[in-house]
Copies of this chain bind each other. A is one copy, B any other.
């Protein structure tokens, strides 16, 4: 009866899964919760495999908790389609595959929806309210208890006698964030005993052990000292979790349950992570094909299914697991930076590197190996990291501060401003800048960073397209007495010219229309657009890149652009006082027509090609615009004045 169904992936590979009917039967026959959780694990595995990315380790460590919470909230009698929205949500968010699997197991999502993970119009990479059963957008860590307080307060006002539990799932890495500790006292003051926060305490953060990243001390004692009821339980035993939830519900105080779990729980080789290991391999990303097959082969027999035949080869792959080296990653701006940072630190003994638990994703791990003394691992504590950088700068060092662009520029904005008010030289690097990676959802797509960082006094804002430009930006930043911000795209670098690169960088000659881009993603789109037009026999536009984006252009650059009839500016961020603004203001009087293609409002979520097309930033859309312009007479600038007017239709992403 538990024999899985098979979903056919776009590659034709059959992906085993538990369907809606499996779960209905399992709940109805009061199956062991652990078995239901394993059914969900199978679904996590298959949906991530189809999506091509997703966080497996945390999804597996928390899977039993998700199932236990559902049992706790819905009671013994399972009713298909009972929505737990507003009384349960995951704050850590990157366990979205597990969340979706549990929503699917509860009848809130269909099989089709389960397999729409990370697609435009499908299930976002981090939870968003657009999905049935999702209470609130998460993925930016630390907001969970605050959000729970809002739900409780609303319930108190609208339904004073209800006092229903509001359960929020946190990550133990998430406890690094100050907002968690900021939000706890208010729950005591308000007497919000309805709140149960449960920590998926797997002990491993983004790169490695929490204790090696930012140890949280005695979490139970910390919570109790604030006035919370706090306890521990075994988080991979769903029955124990249910019992803990019941105890928490009985206690009149807000409760914190530290659920001890194992990251990757359910698959032995995902569980095994030596104490001195440095790189947990299953934090993010889909499994390599043989490992995926092996994981499936491990799970299937639990449901009476059979394994796969080629275990020997797979076993080799597993034996090759290396916990002391990072996964190889494709060439990108990150791999460009990881080497460049080492060179910068070699040449300049004042440079000190700070990272917020993203050493591998920001490419700082090589610098850490070479210069451990001049490396600070701050944990998921961006405010702390930025303020510490401030006094390091006051003491004569040049801090290079790393995180994802959204977290760095929005979590620590006041700290960045405070440092700027000291006019200190600090170089901030924001990764995943712009629309891509779009599969991870709003929390990871930096579209506001240029507007924000461009507002900070003295801040120079850079966006290099490739190696040569990156080097130029760093050189400029090292020569600037105040703060600088370098936004780093997530995709492969383009060939950005020689070391003589200047302010406006000519990447391809052309006529009629000048494309002005910044950053690897849109510069690549521009070059590709030019290729397509050339192949189709159209007049080819010129392609320029502009590595510094919030500063007026110099006369040379303006003269270069004024030779064209039309200038089409590409911006991988929402409208800001950045290059489109400057070009428009400065060129208007020269009767050049200036246009913009760029992001606006909320970014679309989904696979890269889908969302580029959605925002008219794929080569074909750019080409259509170029051809349209070439055929047009002078038209006053468009697309510049719609801020606040056009927002993406929620239905379509």
Binding site for B on A (CB under 8 A): 86, 128-129, 135-138, 140, 142-143, 145-151, 153-155, 157-158, 176-183, 185-186, 188-190, 214-219, 221-222, 224-227, 352, 373-374, 376, 378-379, 381, 383-397, 406-407, 409-411, 413-415, 417-418, 420-423, 442-443, 447-448, 450-452, 454-460, 482, 550-552, 574-577, 581-582, 584-586, 588-589, 601-602, 636-637, 640-645, 647, 650
Contacts and interface: CB of A to CB of B under 8 A. Distances in A.
Nearest to A408: B414
A376 B183 CA distance: 13
A418 B441 CA distance: 11
A218 B184 CA distance: 13
A394 B129 contact: yes
A589 B150 contact: no
Contacts of A151: 391, 394-395
B640 A154 contact: no
B411 A414 contact: yes
- The 8 residue pairs across chains A and B that have the minimum distance between CB atoms: A451-B455, A178-B182, A150-B391, A178-B178, A154-B395, A181-B181, A146-B387, A410-B414
A458 B376 CA distance: 37
Contact of A588 (B179, B387, B414, B589): B589
Contacts of A585: 584-585, 588, 637, 640-641
Contact of A154 (B137, B221, B383, B391): B391
Given A140-B418, A189-B214, 6 more contacts: A150-B388, A153-B388, A176-B182, A179-B384, A179-B387, A186-B379
A21 B11 CA distance: 85
A534 to B, nearest CB: 33
Most chain B CB inside 10 Å of its own CB: which residue of A142, A379, A642: A142
Contact of A421 (B219, B442, B458, B645): B442
B390 A136 contact: yes
A140 B64 CA distance: 42
Given A136-B394, A149-B388, A414-B410, A457 B448 contact: yes
A98 to B, nearest CB: 21
Nearest to A151: B391
A414 B218 CA distance: 28
B391 A136 contact: yes
A482 B225 CA distance: 39
B410 A417 contact: yes
B147 A421 contact: no
Contact of A373 (B147, B157, B456): B157
A415 B442 CA distance: 12
Residue with the highest number of chain B CB atoms closer than 10 Å, among A179, A188, A219: A179
Nearest to A218: B225
Nearest to A85: B394
21 contacts: A137-B421, A143-B390, A146-B384, A146-B415, A150-B388, A157-B352, A182-B384, A183-B383, A186-B214, A215-B227, A217-B226, A222-B226, A406-B417, A451-B452, A451-B576, A454-B643, A482-B647, A552-B645, A585-B588, A585-B640, A588-B588
A451 B452 CA distance: 6
Nearest to A480: B644
Contacts of A392: 150, 153-154
Contacts of A418: 137-138, 140, 143, 442-443
A218 B228 CA distance: 11
Contacts of A482: 647
A137 B86 CA distance: 42
A446 to B, nearest CB: 10
A644 B157 CA distance: 49
A143 B422 CA distance: 14
A157 B391 CA distance: 13
